[in-house]
Structure 1
Amino acid sequence: MIRRRFTTACCSALTLTLALGATACGGDPVSAAGGGKSLAGQTVTVAGVWSGTEQKNFQKVLDAFTEKTGAQTRFVSTGDNVSTVVGSKIEGGNAPDVVMVPQVGVLQQFARQKWLAPLSTAAQKSVESHYAPVWKSYGSVDGTLYGLYFKASNKSTVWYAPDALDQAGVQPAKSFQEMLTTGRAVADSGVSAFAVAGEDGWTLTDWFENVYLSQAGPQKYDELAQHRIKWTDPSVVDALKTLGTLFSEDKLLAGGRNGALATDFPGSVEKVFGPKPEAGMVYEGDFVAGVAEGEFNRKVGEQAKFFPFPAVGGGAAPVVSGGDAAVVLKDGKNQQGAMALLEFLATPEAAAVWAAQGGFLSPNKALDPAAYRNDTLRATAKSLIEAGDSVRFDMSDQAPAAFGGTKGAGEWKILQDFLRDPSNPTATAEALETAAAKAYGAANQG
């Protein structure tokens, strides 16, 4: 959902019903799932949250599918409310054939409402051969594989301006404690250490998730993500205490805590890579590079670099990810074409199309790293692939939206309150548990 939220932050005018058609370009047809026929003359409708540059880049992937199969495609941008838009289209008898789902929770919801068709045998074989098992797990519901993860993000990257660290005489940190020490040196040298996008509550969930995954470990992370342990668990309080060591030092934050609460995600990148830098570092996912390069003309790998989110305490360095899974709707009008598209999206050939454009990572191990446009993207992709089964999907994206994905409510709001006053982690954990219990209870009843 990070990519989705970033689109929301940077593109104020989302078009909810934009449809783009792709013209068939000919080429050798591939077999459709179970059909063994050319798809010439068919149309596959695809719905997803993407707009702007992301939509244009995905359209290039769809055009490659057209060239290979003869099938035309039509993309419909849903905006953020994927579940609502797709549900209304199903009710209206106008269901898309394929949906690119940005949240595990939404994929699970669709499956339990019996909207989804299981992946074809060919697509399943590709997932088993070319993906770490964790991606199959996130695409499955009750043992059935419905979702193919085409696009992923590495949300365990800390981006920095090399000049800021050089001026402070420090190197990228390898532990959380070292990152605090590095940050203090940067702050003493003339700019704040971190630009924190506290106005966007989702960034704070990402801070927490990286700390928690490293400090508490993957098993606890999974249990908390599924609400099998309470948010009042000591491991949660410990993670909040750790995060509070950063949030409580005003000099580490550009503008202090109040300034952080008034900074959105694009603004946080600007504070590091814009024309008037106010901070040396900004934590967020690999998509920071796109903003630094596209908005502020910073050369990624030279003027904008990253280091992996460092290990906390005695834990391993975390790798938190997000992603968009392709699913096939039962009520779509072209099951054959839809399944053929998913089989294509499972290939490194499809991933390479977007990888060459930037702003994209693939969880497909068969993709040649040379497909990425620069060394920085190759490094973030390598980190994601090498993490294997230790990768964990964004926790808030696994939660009911009322808790993990609603502006001004639930986890977003509570962590904003914690940023404002990090002095009582126990009270914050209690507030998180109250909100989580209500949201998960309602979701289970539904």
Structure 2
Amino acid sequence: MRRRLDRTALRTTTAVAAAAALALALGACGGSGGGTDRADGGGKGGGTAPTVRLPHLAGQKVQVTAVWTGPERANFVKVLDEFEKRTGATVDFVPSGDDMAGFVGSKIAGGGPPDVAMLQQVGVLHEFAKKGWIKPLGADARAQLARNYSRGWRDLGAHQGTPYGVYFKASNKSLVWYNARAFDDAGAKVPKTWPQFLTTARTLSDSGVAPVSVGGADGWTLTDWFENIYLSQAGPEKYDRLARHDLKWTDPSVKQALTTLGGLFGRTDLLAGGTSGALQTDFPTSVTQTFGGGGTPKAAMVSSADFAAATIGQTKAKIGTDAKVFPFPAVGAKSPVVTGGDVAVALKDTKAAQALLTFLASTDAAKIWAQAGGFLSPNRKLDQAAYSDGVMRTIARALIAAGDDFRFDMSDQAPASFGGKPGQGEWKDLQDFLKDPKDVTGVQARLEKDAATSFGH
């Protein structure tokens, strides 16, 4: 059984406090704000003194794997380039694809695992630690964590009290990005509740624009939809129980959340491309069809984490002007706040691997990607002036202000066979639900069967 995350950060008041902070912050989102450089690694200007000492690693090679592609990969490579410059090491980036657990498992079986992996799921970190696949953090990396991270994020990277991982990149998954012009042309209002969200969607549809873009080809996007609705509607206690599989997926609270979600998925006129279009749309396309191109957009809204900003940056839309954001609407009493993140772990206990983890735990590394955009760091010492625009800055401010008060992505807490693999488990079951939103009981039964198998119950 995985460590119970609610011992550290998951308290009943978490979603309430964080949602309030986020709502206040996003209410002021618009253009870029100012800021000054500081020696702690923040600020927009270059030339600040390094805050972390790294060893000389000339001649050594480090292979790093992550799921990132496109602009996310390009921005992460900028971080790796700086590590190369400071240490003399050579870093090779290898994309893993969405099935990180399967990729790493095959490499270990073949005798050639990468040195460092950026894992997306807490459950996968625990699985790898139990199998002895990952190595504990060295003293330097632990020192950076103690200086720069709150207890909640440190504990998320640990297994049975031993620190293994550095959460380099975080995400706020309780956001809806929208096309400001489409809203203005339709006279649509930013919704605060789920009924208002559906009303706004119908208003947009009547104006001739498909309201909601859903990246159903990537099953993980559907888990985010469910988790936001479930957390807001069922509450944090049941969310934690379902995440641990202490509560069955056949529970009435799951039926209620799926029925609510079906109120959107079952309205093909509210989905860009209808049901079949949503199932054939991957995550990047779900964003670009909301903001890319001229004239009438293919969609007006897309529910996505803050990292959608990186994809929006590939279009002509300007964040804060053309592309705006609001908190996921409240389904129950409060809006939800669901977070995710990518945790760096060492698969080889080498000096170079440990040095890279130390660097990733520093403000120096976080600053590089923050300046590039499409990035959110749980590093509390990073000067928020480093963020490239005001929208990301306010989202980051809300995350840091929440401290340890957050709920981590539910599917990412599960074993990979249930919550982290394409074409199976929760990803596949929710894709089936998108095809037939009326079959609530059937999808509940499949979810419970798959969860019980993966959790070993």
Q: TM-score, normalised by structure 2?
A: 0.81
Offset of 1:82 from its aligned partner? 3.2
**CA 1:386–1:317: 2 relative to 1, 3 Å:** farther
Q: Is the 8 A contact 1:218 1:390 kept in 2?
A: no
**Structure 1 residue aligned with 2:445:** 430
Q: Does residue 1:73 correspond to 2:91, yes or no?
A: yes
Paired residue for 1:395? 410
Partner of 2:337: 319
Aligned to 1:83: 101
> Residue 386 of structure 1 aligns with which residue?
401
Deviation by residue 1:271-317 (Cα, 9 ceiling, x = unmatched): 322334232211112232222330x3111211111111122211x32
1:181 alignment counterpart: 199
Aligned equivalent of 1:244, options 249, 252, 262: 262
Asked if 1:223 is matched to 2:238, the reply is: no
| Matched position secondary structure for 2:200 | helix
Alignment match of 1:299 (pick from 318, 327, 333): 318
Q: What is the aligned partner in structure 2 of residue 349 from structure 1? A: 364
> Contact 1:28–1:67 (CA<8 Å) still a contact in 2?
no
Residues 1:147 and 1:168: Cα distance change in structure 2 (over 3 Å): same
Give the distance between the partners of 1:194 and 1:239, measured in 2 at CA: 18
User: Corresponding residue for 1:279?
Assistant: 299
1:123 and 2:123 correspond: no
Whether the 8 Å CA contact 2:172–2:306 is kept in 1: the answer is yes
The alpha carbon displacement at 1:265 in A equals 2.5
> Relative to structure 2, which stretch is displaced further, 95-104 or 49-58?
49-58
Structure 2 contact 51–363 (Cα < 8 Å) conserved: no
- Alignment-derived partner of residue 68 in structure 2: 50
- Total equivalences in the alignment: 407
Superposed CA deviations along residues 362-401 of structure 1, whole A, max 9, x for unmatched, are 1111111111111122133223323333322322222233
From 206, 211, 216, the counterpart of 1:198: 216
Q: For residue 135 of structure 1, report the CA deviation from its aligned partner.
A: 1.7
Q: Secondary structure at the match of 1:237?
A: helix
Mark the CA change 1:424 to 1:166 in structure 2 (over 3 Å): closer, same or farther: same
Local SS of the residue matching 1:306: strand
Structure 1 Cα separation of the partners of residues 306 and 385 of structure 2:
17
Aligned-pair distance for 1:40? Answer: 4.5
Task: Please tell me whether the aligned partners of residues 29 and 39 of structure 1 are also in contact (alpha carbons under 8 angstroms).
Answer: no
| 1:81–1:421 distance in 2 versus 1, CA, 3 Å | closer
Question: Which segment is superposed worse, 388-397 or 171-180?
Answer: 388-397
* Letter of the structure 2 residue corresponding to residue 102 of structure 1: Q
- SS of residue paired to 2:372: coil
Residue 127 of structure 2 contacts residue 415 of structure 2 at CA under 8 Å; is this kept in 1?
no
Whole-angstrom CA distance in 2 between matches of 1:267 and 1:43: 35
Deviation per CA, 1:86-141: give whole Å up to 9, x if none. Answer: 34444554443322222222211210111222223343343344323332232111
The answer on whether the counterparts of 1:396 and 1:404 sit within 8 Å (CA) in structure 2 is yes
Determine the structure 2 residue equivalent to 1:288.
Answer: 308
CA distance in 1: counterparts of 2:435 and 2:94, whole angstroms = 39
Structure-2 separation of matches of 1:281 and 1:327: 35
| Partner residue, 2:121 | 103
Alignment of 1:24-43 (within 5 A): 38-43=56-61
Could you tell me which amino acid in structure 2 is paired with residue 280 of structure 1? A
Match of 1:369 among 373, 384, 399: 384
Report the CA distance between 1:70 and its aligned residue.
4.1
| Alignment match, 2:10 | none
Matched letter for residue 306 of structure 1: V
Greater shift in the superposed pair: 385-394 or 302-311: 385-394
- For residues 88 and 214 of structure 1, do their structure 2 counterparts lie closer, same or farther at Cα, with a shift above 3 Å needed? same
What is the aligned counterpart of 2:375 among 356, 360, 365? 360
Task: State the alpha-carbon separation in 2 of the partners of residues 217 and 68 from structure 1.
Answer: 46
User: What letter is aligned with 2:352?
Assistant: G
Q: Is the 8 A contact 2:71 2:310 kept in 1?
A: no
Amino acid aligned to 1:434: K
Equivalent residue, structure 1, for 2:329 = 310
Cα 1:137–1:258, aligned 2, differ >3 Å: closer, same or farther? same
User: How many angstroms apart in 1 are the aligned matches of 2:134 and 2:307?
Assistant: 30
Q: Which runs of 5+ in 2 are unaligned?
A: 1-48
> 5+ unaligned residues in a row in structure 1: which ranges?
1-26
Tell me if the contact between 1:29 and 1:38 (Cα under 8 Å) persists in the aligned partners.
Answer: no
Structure 2 residue corresponding to 1:136, chosen from 148, 154, 169: 154
Report the aligned-residue RMSD.
2.6
Q: Deviations over 1:157-197 (max 9, x none)?
A: 10111112112323321222221222222222222221222
Match of 2:430 among 398, 415, 423: 415
User: How far does the alpha carbon of each residue in 1:239-267 deviate from its partner, in whole angstroms, 9 at most, with x for none?
Assistant: 11221222233332223334333433233
2:264 alignment partner AA: L
Q: Cα–Cα, structure 1 residues 265 and 105, in superposed 2: closer, same or farther, change >3 Å?
A: same
Q: Quick one: distance in 1 between partners of 2:449 and 2:441?
A: 13
Q: For 2:197 and 2:97, how far apart are their aligned partners in 1?
A: 36
Task: Answer yes or no: is the 8 Å Cα contact 1:43–1:74 preserved in 2.
Answer: yes
Residue pair 1:319, 1:384 contacting (<8 A) in 2 also: no
CA distance in 1, matches of 2:421, 2:158: 25
Q: Call closer, same or farther: CA 1:126–1:171 in 2, change over 3 Å.
A: farther
- Preserved CA contact (<8 Å) 1:161 1:305: yes
TM-score w.r.t. the length of structure 1 is: 0.83
